[in-house]
Amino acid sequence: MYLLMKKILKTLTGILIITLPLLITLILIFNNLSGKSFYENSGVIKTNGLKGEVKIYFDSYGVPHIFSQSDHDAYFTMGYLHARDRLWQMDISRRAAEGRLAEILGKEVLKYDKLFRTIGINRFAYYWYRNISPLSVSILESYSQGVNRFIEDNYNNLPVEFDALSYKPEPWKPEHSLMIARMMAWELNIAWFTDWIIGSLVNKVGVEKTSEIFPDTSISLFKKENIDTNEFSLSFPSSFAADFLKLNLDFRNYFGISLSHTGSNSWVVSSAKSAYGKPILCNDPHLFLSAPSKWYELHVKSDSLDARGMSIAGVPGIVIGNNRHIAWGLTNLMCDDNDFVILRRDSSESRKYIWGGKSHYPDSLIEKIFVKDSGEVLLTVRQTLAGTLISDVDLNGIDGFNYRQRDELIAFRWTGFELSDEVLCFYRINKSSDWKSFRDALKYFCAPAQNFLYADTNGNIGYQCAGKIPIRNTDDPNNFMYPTEFELTWKGFIDFEKLPSLFNTSEEYILTANTDPAEWIKNQDYNFYISYLWEPSSRFNRINEFLSKQVLIDNDECALLQNDPNSPYARMLATYITEAYKDVNEADQRVNWCLGKFSQFNGELKSDESIPSVYGAFLVFLIKNTFEDELGKDVFNNFITVQNILTVHWRE
């Protein structure tokens, strides 16, 4: 045994002698590479491009405070800091928008490049840049100069991701910031999915059963007296689903972008209801979790600016925050801001399509996509008068699209393709001093349409819907799914002055939670169509329940509400479960235990209690057992991808 142990120790010693230097080397390399993503927070940086001296202070949370003497230097420094802390995040985002991921990640992501080359956010960004205000151009140029100055100053000391993928970032262009802003609009848009899934439900189970799933909608499509179901032809064929839908879902999953939103919340309490005699504004946009975060917190001050809050890496300006006069927050309006239009081919010339009673050739362009270690791929992108042909997207092909492969030509129209100037919008918001200047700034906002909440130091509170909401070419605003050229043609957008708005309400508070404004704005009638699908009203009801009961609200109570686990929807469902079993003599003690718990359940979904887990499991199987047998596995799995489809019309 002694000899054996001696031999083992000798062997282990030999292994240790061999591997220890390698281990030490690997540790040193890792420390060196990981440390490259961190830069000094103190000292003096001498760089070109500034007009004067800029001071940056980092608080105890690491949040930078920029003090400059001009707007140019403020936005230059913002670009420099964004690049310093988020350069690879910015680079991968602009590459996604440009359809240039395959250059660095290889053929695995070629399909995503084809998707975004077809959608064309990159092409539209150059058009927008040529048409925005001179002030916005100046801001974007200053910001881009700051990003590029960081790249140049640190070209040999860039974040570790660039070393890992063996490439260097290209110079930042002003158009790249516009691309990132539109990519955020794309991520927040789920109308393309809900349009399709409701259509697939009708295809699968018919109009009558689909109307049972959405029993209290006002959608005329699902009113049996308004439609001959024998002649009904759905606007979304399966070939479309096979490519565009799956490819877009796949892209979102690849980058961790969830369609199943938990929903965004905001509320503002007036001076009369505030414990401090001044308004309190709270906002939680609930964007998907990522590392690093979508948001970049900072404070920027110049001779005309003094705003703090959340910015987006790659885009100049404060998106959510406050200045010395006002505070503001955002939640998603849930606007139906896109349409799919099936175009008829010209029977005499299959390469043409019919629009406006006339025959047209699509405009075509060739996109070159460079693929790491694989050369280049050519992609044909076609544009029609109704929008880009997204039916050209081919999930599996590698050489582009042959138009004869499909019978349908499906065009995609989206408000995100419309000309707008969000840079000017947020610049003016950042400088706003009252309700009027704030509302005037929102007139430049486009996509995705948002609920903007407002408070000011004079005690005023307000709400304004902002963004482009399409007016379909029909007398009935609910005829949004008909696959005809006439019904889906847009003839303009809702005038800003007609959009939902509130100012200094008698309730002394205003809240938003992605629900229909018509349900909570009582003093303003509007008869135009915004959307047919909203988030479940449970969050709205809970916030309203909390705020209405409190005489005075303070910061601590707002923090409790933002972390509140109470769900009116869970409370309601527990009541239904208890009621269903009231006359049942249940022999299973496990079921009786659950029923006892449900009878006392107040809807609080706490992580340290057992009944919320039982409730969650029950809800999963309730939905599965109710729908999957008739929808089939594929349609059901798509159906449950967006959670608001399941619960929005189940009123509490």
pLDDT attached to residue 107: 94
Q: Quick: pLDDT tens for 53-87.
A: 999 999 999 999 999 999 999 999 999 999 999 99
Instruction: Tell me the CA distances in angstroms from 507 to 220, 269, 522, 540, one per residue in order.
Output: 34, 9, 12, 15
The pairs formed by 524-528 with CB atoms below 8 angstroms and a separation of 24 or more are: 524/500, 526/498, 526/499, 526/500, 527/477, 528/469, 528/471, 528/477, 528/494, 528/498
What integer is the mean pLDDT of 279-286? Answer: 95
pLDDT attached to residue 70: 98
Q: Look at residue 552 and tell me whether its pLDDT is greater than 70.
A: yes
Tell me the average pLDDT of the chain.
86
What integer is the mean pLDDT of 246-273? Answer: 82
What integer is the mean pLDDT of 338-352? Answer: 86
Question: Residue 55's closest CA among 40, 70, 65, 41?
Answer: 65
Under 8 Å between Cβ of 204 and 167: no
Q: Which residue has the higher pLDDT, 590 or 478?
A: 590
Q: Quick: pLDDT tens for 562-621.
A: 999 999 999 999 999 999 998 888 889 999 999 999 999 999 999 899 999 999 999 999
Q: Look at residue 46 and tell me whether its pLDDT is greater than 80.
A: yes
Distance CA 260, CA 104 (A): 29
Distance CA 174, CA 139 (A): 9
Question: Residue 537's closest CA among 651, 429, 439?
Answer: 651
Under 8 Å between Cβ of 456 and 322: no
H-run or E-run covering 297: strand 295-301
pLDDT attached to residue 645: 62
Structure tokens at 139: 């801001």
Task: Give the CA count within 13 Å in the CB-facing half-sphere of 621.
Answer: 5
| AA identity, residue 627 | F
Which band of pLDDT confidence, cut at 50, 70 and 90, is reported for residue 523?
low
Which band of pLDDT confidence, cut at 50, 70 and 90, is reported for residue 230?
very low
Q: Look at residue 426 and tell me whether its pLDDT is greater than 50.
A: yes
Under 8 Å between Cβ of 300 and 74: yes
What residues contact residue 275 under an 8 Å CB cut-off, 6+ apart?
552, 553, 554
Beta strands in 159-289 (DSSP E): 265-269, 280-284
pLDDT attached to residue 343: 83
Q: Quick: pLDDT tens for 6-35.
A: 655 566 566 666 665 555 555 555 555 556
pLDDT attached to residue 339: 84
Q: Quick: pLDDT tens for 178-221.
A: 999 999 999 888 888 777 777 778 778 877 787 777 655 544 44
Q: Look at residue 265 and tell me whether its pLDDT is greater than 80.
A: yes
pLDDT attached to residue 71: 98
pLDDT attached to residue 94: 97
pLDDT attached to residue 190: 82
For 295, the 3-state DSSP assignment is: strand
pLDDT attached to residue 400: 40
Percent of residues, the chain, with pLDDT higher than 70: 82
Distance CA 297, CA 295 (A): 6
What integer is the mean pLDDT of 408-425? Answer: 92
**How many whole angstroms from its chain centre is CA 513?**
15
For 537, the 3-state DSSP assignment is: coil
pLDDT attached to residue 472: 80
Which band of pLDDT confidence, cut at 50, 70 and 90, is reported for residue 635?
confident
Q: Which residue has the higher pLDDT, 342 or 135?
A: 135
β partners of residue 338? 414
Which domains does the chain possess? 55-188 (1.10.439.10), 568-647 (no CATH)
Q: What share of the chain is helix, strand, coil (3-state, %, to 5)?
A: 45, 20, 35
* Dihedral angle of Cα 102, 106, 107, 110, to the nearest 10 degrees: -20
Q: Quick: pLDDT tens for 131-167.
A: 999 999 999 999 999 999 999 999 999 999 999 999 9
Q: Angle formed by the axes of helices 435-442 and 422-431, to 10°?
A: 170
Terminal alpha carbon distance of the chain: 75
Poorest-pLDDT segment among 88-97, 233-242, 431-440: 233-242
What strands lie across the sheet with 306-312, from one edge to the other?
A: 55-58, 64-67, 295-301, 306-312, 315-322, 326-332, 450-456, 461-466, 501-503
pLDDT attached to residue 586: 85
What integer is the mean pLDDT of 383-407? Answer: 65
pLDDT attached to residue 463: 98
pLDDT attached to residue 203: 78
Cβ neighbours around 70 below 10 Å, total: 17
| Polymer length of the chain | 652
pLDDT attached to residue 512: 97
